[in-house]
Structure 1
């Protein structure tokens, strides 16, 4: 059986064979197959054996070394499962975005795009290089259209159903002029996103201990 595991992995083993290998760690130099089969028959499955309490295992004549081993397997399996499914951030309002900035974007500057799924879970946070023509008080219309198109193409590639844009100002950048200059871009993005089924929650500027935001159709605040 050890040769099978080395060549093909443990995925093809029956429950009693996996249990046989586990028992061998606590019962060296003995044939553990009879006990493994007996435990499967008694408890019904490998999972039931591992989850059985110490008293039940001792009554089934499982050696103390194996009882202690089985007691650790459940917590280990839960920890592995949690690691395989990391908790995804939920950005469902401006307060959660500000908290995200404080924790994950401290010291960052420039434009970020937060791509979200249908439950507002964060899929990706990506930098967006702003063309100089877009950062002018009166942005160049072709530059706005190009930036909007590029951003929405990225949203579709990520299978994002919504997004929000975020500008992190430098220490020497006042937030109000930035918000005024970004309004044309954010408005165009919201209108284009609606045509493609991508909900644009809005745009936020953060800097100098202040923040401003607006959603499509709202005045900055």
Structure 2
């Protein structure tokens, strides 16, 4: 049998009931009371059955520095992370597990951004910064985004016009004008981020 996560020994116990104890603690105390590694561990339970995933959760947080940075990390970077479980066997990230984590981050980002999109009025620097913190906070790559506003400064659309590398995101004025006319935007805000390299 290989040590890869995809081939699991289903006869192994759930490492002394740890999973059930952690679930019980989450139910009783609420998931908001859990430290980041346990929150990540609970999520990894679903992707990696019948293995001790705490070392992998801690390895991910150590590698990327925080839960948001872990969940928003590029898939190829997540695949470099591994750990040993409580039996000394290798736990390796797979593309499916990395995708599961990325889906959790994207779902959370959309959930936070949706009410802002429907009611956001970009009328001050503070409101612009608040909106961008939600939408761009943990993006690992440079982006060139455009916020299209109506005459009351309400957000019509927030669109990524181009992705870049870690230090370059091209912008094309013709495309900006074309899209502004399509949306009947009264004004636009051009946004370019600089990802923090870890």
Q: Could you state the TM-score of these two structures normalised by the residue count of structure 2?
A: 0.42
Higher relative contact order (CA 8 A, sep 6+): 2
Q: Could you state the TM-score of these two structures normalised by the residue count of structure 1?
A: 0.38
Larger radius of gyration: 1
